[in-house]
Structure 1
Amino acid sequence: MTRDYSERPAPGAPDFLFEERDSVGSTNALCFERARAGHAGNLWIRAGEQTEGRGRRGRDWSSPVGNLFASLLLIDPKPVERIGELPLVAAVALAESVDKAAGTLHLVQLKWPNDLLVDGAKLSGILLEAELLADGRQAVVIGFGVNCISHPPLTMYQATDLRSLGFNVSAERMFEALASSLSSQLEGWRQQGGFETTRKNWLNRAAHLGKVISVKTAREEISGIFADLDARGHLVLKQEDGGVRTIYAGDVFFPGE
């Protein structure tokens, strides 16, 4: 029987379109294919598995059947000057959706900019990518991977999954909760001053806030007390000499990692 891959309203977010696939190389890559072909955006693509999943900085992302792999295509998201805030918007939405799907309250903590942790172990990954299309439109894709029923045993970071934590959450249920939460978060973000609410919600779940952390940037490794997020979501470190450093991009490491 031929599978119907046509678009339909997204479960949990009927104002968005939804395409479901059994297996793809990468849901992010497929979203960009749709964008280059002229798609208007607001499109979710979910796959049962990925054969070429990837994370931040080109790292591989393990993508076995049963976990959630989904990406959202946005075209010319507004306000354009604040697109850099979207990783934190996505993180807050995913954290809320885990609670919604699992029936928990603040199960996860957030590691800057958008990793979800449970007792220090990584539960999910978020990859945001952007591309200027040939017709001048900007395509932004937010990819999500959530360990619902399994996690890789050997990774750069300790990992976990919802089943191992005692929660029976299917990829379908996780996706519906995510689509609903992200729709609400994006609507709030678009409002004047909307990111301040996102920032506060992110900080309410922040891992190691007020404690010493290290950040590896492209040029150096910096240590200091995780003091705050600035108004644009950048990491603020307080250093031993009393000075303050603002980090715009980098990998965060906690003591012992």
Structure 2
Amino acid sequence: MDLGKGAVRSGYRLEHFEVLGSTNDEAAARVASGDPGRLWIVADRQTKGRGRLGRVWVSPPGNLFASLLLIEPCAREKAPQLGFVAGVALADALRNLLGGDPRLTLKWPNDALYDGAKLSGLLLESFAQTTFGCVIGFGVNCADHPDDTPYPATSLKAMGARADRDAVFVALSNSLAGWLDLWSRGDNFPAIRRAWLDVAGGLDAPAKVMRNGNVMEGTFRGIDAHGRMLLESHDGKLVTIEAGDLSFAPPLPVR
């Protein structure tokens, strides 16, 4: 397991473990210990992996479980933008490994899909202690994927892709280093937004959003200048949504 050469040149570090409870938890502990950041934590297996909204993330060997710790990466109010930077970087890395395959898309806010099936998830967490730390956790289905999920899932192996976990990590570490530089601590989010929309799945498609136990239906119109979802309701009103679970009734269109 190695960092990409571009990530090394940019000053990123790597610590690799056989087993951890959660790579995000390990990275969070480093905030308290005073770690300077730009640290990747990777585990072969997790025993307490989790996704968004506290959901369990199944963590079999052969998949990628990696978290990046960043210390004082931006003004605190701009930290949510990091989820979009990370999503764009992951999509960029995966598409390159898949020969530019347009069936690899992003679903708001940060799931990577292939032909509408979930290939990867992302968990962004922040910690305000003596310093401000952000942790970006990635779970990529490389060798295996769960079959008992409410939303279809897939893996690189099931897709017939030759890229393994190590190749994905090299590509991701290089890609994220570059996109973080372009983002420029939040001063260049418009470039990230454009790149996100270029790989977004389900644009202009019928959509449902689950939020606080309520379901909203309409048409997905992308994201605004702050990364909030834009949903056009059936009566033509454009609704801005900061958090929720997005799903599409028909198959996601290839763009």
TM exceeding 0.5:
yes
Structure 1 pair 62–218 and aligned structure 2 pair: CA distance change class (3 A): same
Q: Which 5+ residue runs of structure 2 have no aligned equivalent?
A: none
SS at match of 2:12: strand
CA contact (8 A) 1:97 1:181 kept: yes
CA contact (8 A) 1:124 1:147 kept: yes
Aligned AA (1:73) = L
CA deviation profile, 1:95-117 (whole Å, cap 9, x unmatched): 01112233333341111000011
Q: Distance in 1 between matches of 2:227 and 2:13?
A: 29
CA contact (8 A) 1:127 1:142 kept: yes
Structure 1 residues 1-257: aligned runs within 5 Å: 10-12=3-5, 13-14=7-8, 15-133=11-129, 135=130, 137-190=131-184, 193-218=187-212, 220-255=214-249
Aligned length: 248
CA deviation profile, 1:196-219 (whole Å, cap 9, x unmatched): 111111111211111110111125
Q: Percent identity?
A: 42
Q: CA deviation at 1:192?
A: 6.9
SS at match of 1:66: coil
Aligned AA (2:165) = A
Q: Distance in 2 between matches of 1:9 and 1:46?
A: 10
Q: Which 5+ residue runs of structure 1 have no aligned equivalent?
A: 1-7
Q: Root-mean-square deviation (CA), in Å? A: 1.8
Q: Distance in 2 between matches of 1:76 and 1:16?
A: 15
Aligned match of 1:3? none
Aligned AA (1:200) = R
Aligned match of 1:4? none
Q: Using CA pairs below 8 Å that are at least 6 residues apart, which structure has the higher relative contact order?
A: 2
Aligned AA (2:73) = P
CA deviation profile, 1:44-89 (whole Å, cap 9, x unmatched): 0111111111000111111111111100001111143311111111
SS at match of 1:200: helix
Q: CA deviation at 1:191?
A: 6.2
CA deviation profile, 1:225-256 (whole Å, cap 9, x unmatched): 11131001110111122211100011001116
The alignment's TM-score, normalised by the length of structure 1, stands at: 0.91
Deviation larger for 47-56 or 72-81: 72-81
Q: Distance in 2 between matches of 1:110 and 1:104?
A: 14
